[in-house]
Amino acid sequence: AKFVYFFGNGEADGRADMKNLLGGKGANLAEMTSIGLPVPPGFTITTEVCTEFYKNNSAYPAGLNDEVAANLKRVEQLMGRTFGDAVNPLLVSVRSGARASMPGMMDTVLNLGLNDTTVQGIIAQSGDERFAYDAYRRFVQMYSDVVMGMDKEALEHLLEQKKEEKGVHLDTDLTAADWKDLVAKFKARIREVLGQEFPEDPQEQLWGAIGAVFGSWMNQRAITYRKLNNIPADWGTAVNVQSMVFGNMGDDCATGVAFTRDPSTGDNYFYGEYLVNAQGEDVVAGIRTPQPINLHQKKEGDLPAMEEVLPECYQQLAGIRQILEKHYKDMQDIEFTIEKGKLYMLQTRNGKRTACAAIKIAVDMVKEGLIDEKAAILRVQPSQLDQLLHPSLDPKAPKKIIAKGLPASPGAAAGTAVFTADEAELLARNGQKVILVRIETSPEDIHGMHAAQGILTARGGMTSHAAVVARGMGKCCVAGCGDLKVDYASQSFTARHGVVIKKGDLITLDGSTGEVIMGEVATVPPQLTGDFATLMEWVDKYRKLKVRTNADTPNDSKVAREFGAEGIGLCRTEHMFFEADRIMAVREMILAEDLEGREKALAKILPMQKGDFIGIFREMKGLPVTIRLLDPPLHEFLPTEDKDIEALTKTLNVTTQQLKHKVEFLHEFNPMLGHRGCRLGLTYPEIYDMQVQAIMEAACELVKNEGFSIVPEIMIPLIATVSELKELKANAVAVCEEVMASYGVKLEYLIGTMIELPRAALTADEIATEAEFFSFGTNDLTQTTFGLSRDDAGKFLPFYVETNLLPEDPFVTLDQNGVGKLVKMACELGRSTRPEIKLGICGEHGGDPASVIFCHKVGLDYVSCSPFRVPIARLAAAHAVL
Ligand code: ADP
Ligand code: MG
Ligand code: MG
């Protein structure tokens, strides 16, 4: 196999579509080179070498050495410099780059090839001793950190000491002699701490750095990032070795990052940040506040834009922006460096963006003729929509703004302020909502960012680590908030007008405006018009699967319909029983001594249930509605507090003692598998009879008086055998016929069942002889198939997922191999005895994109999910087709 791929001077061995082999960075460096963009020459060592490296106990495959040497020679020839040469030395960067971008997760070493000899060559070449020693000391710092495992702080400390000694504040105030002295001091300290010399030999440096990049694939933060983003460990990283260009050789030099469109709004403007006379990560590190690249972005008080300072380079870059978008047909995130007025491209990739921007860019690109509707649909990830479907701050709510930063990632979030990632994780685990406040974030903070509702940083721009990662996570972020003085020692920050927020105080962030607000602010529902509506129109055109919602109230139904729900897949009647004015009647029914007592109580509940159904049917305007009869164990409704028990004794005319005894009697050891669902309907038929009566009366009334067309779907839960269903269906049919006769109307209705027990799935052919539809209750089906209780799984399920015993939480994403197999089997069996049977799913999985795609594949008619997930399911259903 070929281990090394060259790029330089308009020619490249690799291509953009070779990301698996070359990593994203390497593949795109190759592509940019071959379309004629100015890329410093270099070569990429493949991800296969990384995989081999880990397989073979950190040994490289035979032949790698020779290939690296040959490619290095080609770079030397193009550059007219020689690696390790005393007079005209070549310096390189050694950069990691996996298939999927993992911003800041792995390590990069710049200025490699410097030593006490070659630095003289750099001085002679550049005529700038200060620059040369500054580059040298950066190299020693980076290399010792990344490759040798030296503590960064130890060298930073020496640098601080130097500045103090010289009485200066800024790095830029140090002279060539200072840097030279520091290089020597750094090396001495490294020797002292590690008992090891800093390598002088450039070849040793090169191989050290290559090994470190491969090694960084398995560092803790890369592992965490992969886990959060579902990136398999066996993908490996590539290593890019590239000749250095310098953005830090003076005021005609610069380095920057940009997006070809605004990653936050999706607006079609060039958007970026740069720094004059700076190297590498200075822009994203948040140490100096970066400047805008153009006048469009420039706001009052900003430093001059690149468009003003380096107009020719800016124009060239703006041209490259167009070339890249036409070529990649997607928004790009680029890195560039200007050395002495000459522009170089160092990276391009498809840019991360907010959900809102993703939609706008996709819709705009269709209008611009760059992509078609199908491509546009695939550009937006279903899970991303979540961001848009959630509330933003109520514009009318009063708010005390205490600071303003950059609107780095939109949405609104409120929580208590915390100042470390560990604390954020800890509190979030206990169910608290927190806002992570940092001076700036680094990859070490990733777990805390994940746990927080929102992220607030004092330093760093729109492309800082915090901003990029937050946008990727779909999390609200306010970055670069210069109003803040964060003090880690006292766990507090001071905002405008001296307002102090301490750990534990409530704050609210508005990621769309950059505002930081004291306390918790009210929110308003999302806007679903404009580009969002356009995209969803396309989505509906292509998808086959219908999307219904789980809704128990007229209001939920209304929200869901606005989100595009095409019916209700699950209306849980028990939720209607919990309201304060009803629970008494329900308790009365449960605790009644005999049939007569129960019927008396049920008569009180009947009109309320009927009212519920009228409201829901009306709201759904003739769309299908599946109503599930009472499901949970009765004891869930029982009074636990003494005052509630007292109140009941009067209604039921029993003593406290008797009542407590009855409550105790109803206690179950394992209610999930106890007296619930159809088992209640069989032992207390009057309960289901009342519910069916309420459903049918509601429907008949609307049909008769308001001219509605309604086909009620009555669903019987927890069926294990066809005999259960047969009896309950007969009861229900009798009630339906009776009601229709009394109203003098005839309407169609369906009686079906949940498939949520393995036995039901296994005997679905028998069950389908009675059931007119199946709805897969995959929450219970997952519990009963795995034999694990959802309510107790919190203690061990996270461990299973962390240690890869399970690839995912099966309550979040349907276990396709196990539970999914039962679903698939039940579909086939059901259709074998009733070909026209309606099939749907009503578990939480109905709103999980991967599960939706599965449902499409097994041929369900619809999925049903919570109202806020309806658009996500619609989009996933379209992805399933395309
Ligand atoms: P990351 O994947 O973390 O972005 P990169 O490999 O892109 O890491 O390197 C980080 C930064 O280092 C780049 O954005 C660029 O500014 C700088 N850099 C990398 N290689 C070179 C090079 N050959 N010449 C100049 N700067 C470089
Ligand atoms: Mg980069
Ligand atoms: Mg169930």
List pLDDT tens digits, range 786-821: 998 877 887 788 788 878 899 888 988 999 999 999
Tell me the CA–centroid distance for residue 689 and ligand 3, in Å. 20
Contact 351, 263 (CB under 8 A): yes
- The CATH code of the domain that includes 328 is 3.30.470.20
Burial class, 788, CB count within 10 angstroms (exposed 0-12 / middle 13-18 / buried 19+): middle
Which listed residue (481, 842, 855, 865) is catalytic? 842
**For residue 285, is pLDDT > 70?**
no
Same domain, 492 and 513: yes
**For residue 777, is pLDDT > 90?**
yes
Same domain, 222 and 293: no
* Residue 103 within any structural domain of the chain: yes
Contact 866, 550 (CB under 8 A): yes
Contact 209, 203 (CB under 8 A): no
Same domain, 712 and 852: yes
* Residue 640 within any structural domain of the chain: no
* Residue 10 within any structural domain of the chain: yes
Is 842 an active-site residue?
A: yes
Tell me the CA–centroid distance for residue 95 and ligand 1, in Å. 7
* Residue 376 within any structural domain of the chain: no
**pTM for the whole structure:** 0.82
pLDDT: is 661 or 183 the higher one?
A: 183
Residue nearest to atom 24 of ligand 1 (CA): 244
List pLDDT tens digits, range 80-131: 999 999 999 999 999 999 988 787 767 789 999 999 999 999 999 999 999 9
Is 481 an active-site residue?
A: no
pLDDT at 286: 62
* Residue 607 within any structural domain of the chain: yes
- Length of the chain, in residues: 882
Owning domain of residue 63: 4-243
Provide the 8-state DSSP code for 379: H
Same domain, 454 and 503: yes
Contact 753, 771 (CB under 8 A): yes
The ipTM, to two decimals, is 0.95
pLDDT at 634: 85
- The CATH code of the domain that includes 608 is 3.20.20.60
Which percentage of the chain shows pLDDT scores above 70?
Answer: 99
Burial class, 355, CB count within 10 angstroms (exposed 0-12 / middle 13-18 / buried 19+): buried
Residue nearest to atom 3 of ligand 1 (CA): 104
- Residue 777 among known ligand-binding residues: yes
* Cα Rg of the chain, angstroms: 33
Same domain, 510 and 568: no
Same domain, 759 and 730: yes
Same domain, 142 and 12: yes
Mutation probe of ligand 1 site: the residue of 43, 102, 110 with most atoms within 8 A of C-beta: 110
List pLDDT tens digits, range 695-728: 999 999 999 999 889 999 999 999 999 999 999 9
Same domain, 476 and 346: no
Question: What is d(CA 877, CA 545) in angstroms, rounded to the nearest whole number?
Answer: 6
* HEC string for 550-575: ECCCHHHHHHHHHCCCCCEEEEEHHH
Domain count, the chain: 4
Pocket of ligand 1 (CB under 6 A): 40, 93, 95, 104, 108, 110, 242, 244-245, 255, 280-281, 335, 337, 346-347
Same domain, 233 and 289: no
pLDDT at 817: 96
Contact 725, 714 (CB under 8 A): no
pLDDT at 580: 67
Three-state SS at 275: strand
- The CATH code of the domain that includes 479 is 3.50.30.10
Residue that is last in its domain, among 353, 378, 402: 353
* Residue 62 within any structural domain of the chain: yes
* Residue 875 within any structural domain of the chain: yes
* Residue 727 within any structural domain of the chain: yes
List pLDDT tens digits, range 439-469: 998 877 888 998 999 999 998 877 778 887 8
Q: Which helix (H) or strand (E) holds 145?
A: helix 129-146
Same domain, 625 and 721: yes
Tell me the CA–centroid distance for residue 291 and ligand 2, in Å. 18
Which listed residue (447, 450, 465, 856) is catalytic? 465
Residue nearest to atom 1 of ligand 1 (CA): 104
Confidence of residue 38 (pLDDT cuts 50, 70, 90): very high
Residue that is last in its domain, among 243, 270, 301: 243
Same domain, 455 and 571: no
Provide the 8-state DSSP code for 394: -
Tell me the CA–centroid distance for residue 567 and ligand 3, in Å. 19
Same domain, 436 and 490: yes
